[in-house]
Structure 1
Amino acid sequence: MSKKPKIRMYSRKSMNFPNKIGKEEYSLTTMFDLFIIEKSIEGLSERTLHDYNVHVKYLLDYLGSDIINTQCNKELFKSYIAYMLHEKGLSPVTANVRIRTIRAFLRFCYLNGYIDEPIHQHFKPVKTKEDTLESFTPEEVKKLLAVVDENSYKGFRDKVIIYMLLDTLVRCSELVNIKRNNVDLKAGFISLESANTKTRKGRTVPISTKTTRLLKEYISITDNYSSDFLFLTYEGEPLSDNTVRKNLAEIGEKAGVHKRVSPHTFRHTGALYYVLNGGDPFSLQKILGHSDMSMVRKYIQMTNTDVKKQHNVFSPLNTVFK
């Protein structure tokens, strides 16, 4: 059996970066600061800007030190991608999140004349398996809810959050920024403010009767808190998205669900069941807050079992042989 060829890794210190004569020098961090200023002016959310900073920090950690614009070349960034995939062992999905940030940053640098070469055109996000999004089975959702101690404040709050994530398909960052006055229990809607959505566009999401009943009870319990936010800690402070993720992961571990128990998995699961229950993709697109239908298609990837069930109900032969 032949050995797998060893991929040569490059570090900042092992590569030669010749300076170009006559080019005004800018450090990578200076160019990135200018990039962040432009993106903030464009109206990107605080969460997105934070993620950009985190992704570039990973790049700087790889480089070992700051570099200047005349030292940037396509070989450096291709080597960084190889490093993420083969040395760090990141999944293509995780690597692609960072790659997209770097490409956007390099495109900004090229268009503004900080670098001479359109480096962003020389590499793309890596290919991933089509079915990369997992969903929960109904049995797994019930297992998760079964281990929640709803007799405690934290447990009941977490139960309400699970219902909310599955029912409204909101993102975690949108969930923790919902305010009490955004909830209309009588009409059965929640208004998401534009400042707190990923697309920077406000939208209204419906809530089912089951979720409405739980929310009504939860709002009553938290009436004594002075906070405007809906989901609060036991001390009455606004709940952070990191706390929500941590709590869900702990619930998943306790329930023995061997999948990633996260807000995103609930969002994907809810989208899939919405379609399986007869919902149309156009209303689903509006609820999810996506402007591109291709993203909706990713959310409703179905297993063979799902397709079989749908086929039994909607087979063309059912029309022929009524």
Structure 2
Amino acid sequence: MTWKEKLKDFQNYLKFEKNFEKNTISSYLSDVSKLKSFAETDDQFSPETINYENIQHFLFELSKENLSERTQARCISSLKAFFNYLVEEEIRADNPTALLEGPKLGIYLPDALSLENIEKIIAAVDLSNPLGKRNLCMIEVLYGCGLRVSEMTGLKISNINFKELYLRIEGKGGKTRFVPLAEFTSKIIKNYINNERAEGKINEKFSDILFLNRRGNAITRNMVFIIIKDLTEKAGIKKNISPHTFRHSFATHLMQNGADLRYIQEMLGHSSITTTEIYTHLDTEELRDVILNCHPRNKNK
């Protein structure tokens, strides 16, 4: 049994049995492939024979690369998943990663933009050309609907209900959810479909995809990242902004304005309320700042 064979089997397991997204599968395989490279050059350990001490040695060498704690934690999660799979398949009787512990991570508070900064980014869009108007529409959909970037780039026109005002989103793990569509965002999407999109090139293969590039193909995730990075710089915002930042802002602003956490969970497509609860921590951080800045006991006399 070789690493190559087991990595291929693990890939199929993640794809077809666990229904993981392509990007998640890629990350898991990348992490396990690093262990494969280590094992093949260090006494030729196979997936069946590698042990806890060998994996500890691998992680020690990996730590020298100055990886972030979050990346190290993800790598350990990937290795645990791989060896859990081998145990499930009865390829191994034991899991050599069972005792591994990842670095202690603090609560990860996702960065969110203020409404003022979102307006600045929108103001930086060049509306004198069709691609600029498409970019405006993409940002309004990211922020107005809280979509993941992969959900936005794969959004189909046939999944937009303009009459009832909702989007049918095919999310992680093949799960489908329905996201309310604000009248404001609906008008922007309609305008883009009827004008800039209709007048541009449309590859027949992508005729039902909402957002297209200049060649008429579905716009890629990487291009969306580049567009947002460029607009952020033009807007003069000194933050590391990604498409996901608009999703965080969507949830944060809903939370700050009194939306029920369960509704936010449903709109974001989180399988667990625990994931959504991160936004309660954001709210707590804001409350802490208010107390520190406004309470009489904390003011300088």
TM-score, normalised with respect to structure 2: 0.84
The Cα shift of 1:273 comes to 0.6
Say whether 1:36 aligns with 2:16: no
Q: Deviation at 1:191?
A: 0.5
The residue number in structure 1 matching 2:158 is 181
Q: Which position in structure 1 is the counterpart of 2:189?
A: 215
Map of 2:241 onto structure 1: 261
Identify which of 123, 127, 141 aligns with 1:164. Answer: 141
Partner of 1:12: none
2:27 paired with 1:51:
yes
* Alignment RMSD: 2.4
Residue of structure 2 equivalent to 1:287: 267
The yes-or-no answer on 1:92 pairing with 2:92 is no
Q: CA deviation at 1:67?
A: 4.3
Q: Which runs of 5+ in 1 are unaligned?
A: 1-25, 312-322
In the alignment, structure 1 residue 242 sits paired with structure 2 residue 222? yes
Which stretch shows the higher mean deviation, 175-184 or 95-104?
95-104
CA distance in 2 between partners of 1:257 and 1:136 (Å): 10
Report whether the alignment pairs 1:128 with 2:95.
no
> C-alpha displacement at 1:102, in angstroms?
1.7
1:198 aligns with 2:198: no
1:255-313 CA distances to partner (integer Å, 9 max, x unpaired)?
A: 232222112221111111111112110111100111211100124432667326999xx
Distance (whole Å) between structure 1 residues aligned to residue 211 and residue 56 of structure 2? 43
CA contact (8 A) 1:174 1:192 kept: yes
Aligned to 2:298: none
2:290 matched to 1:306?
Answer: no
Shift of 1:113: 3.0
Residue pairs, 1:81-120, within 5 angstroms: 81-84=59-62, 86-120=63-97
Three-state SS of the structure 1 residue aligned to 2:168 is strand
The secondary structure found in structure 1 opposite 2:229 is helix
Report percent identity of matched pairs: 25
Could you list the per-position Cα deviations for residues 37-68 of structure 1 after superposition, in whole angstroms to 9, with x for gaps in the alignment?
22233133334333333333344455575741
Segments of structure 2 that go 5 or more residues without pairing to the other structure are 292-301
Match of 2:296 in 1: none
Change (3 A) 1:258 1:88: farther
> Contact between 2:14 and 2:20, CA under 8 Å: does it hold in 1?
yes
Cα distance in 1 for residues equivalent to 2:289 and 2:109? 22
Whether the 8 Å CA contact 2:168–2:178 is kept in 1: the answer is yes
Q: Tell whether the 8 Å contact from 2:162 to 2:186 is kept in structure 1 after alignment.
A: yes
**Separation in 2 of the partners of 1:257 and 1:64?**
46
Are the equivalent residues in 1 in contact too, given 2:211–2:218 (CA < 8 A)? yes
User: Is the 1:271–1:300 Cα contact (8 Å) retained in structure 2?
Assistant: no
CA 1:57–1:70: 2 relative to 1, 3 Å: closer
Could you tell me how far apart the structure 2 residues matched to 1:185 and 1:309 are?
41
Partners of 2:227 and 2:131 in 1: CA distance: 10
Give SS of 2:277's match: helix
1:183-235 CA distance string (max 9 Å, x none): 11222111113xxx213211111121221111111111212534210010012
Secondary structure of 2:167 counterpart? strand
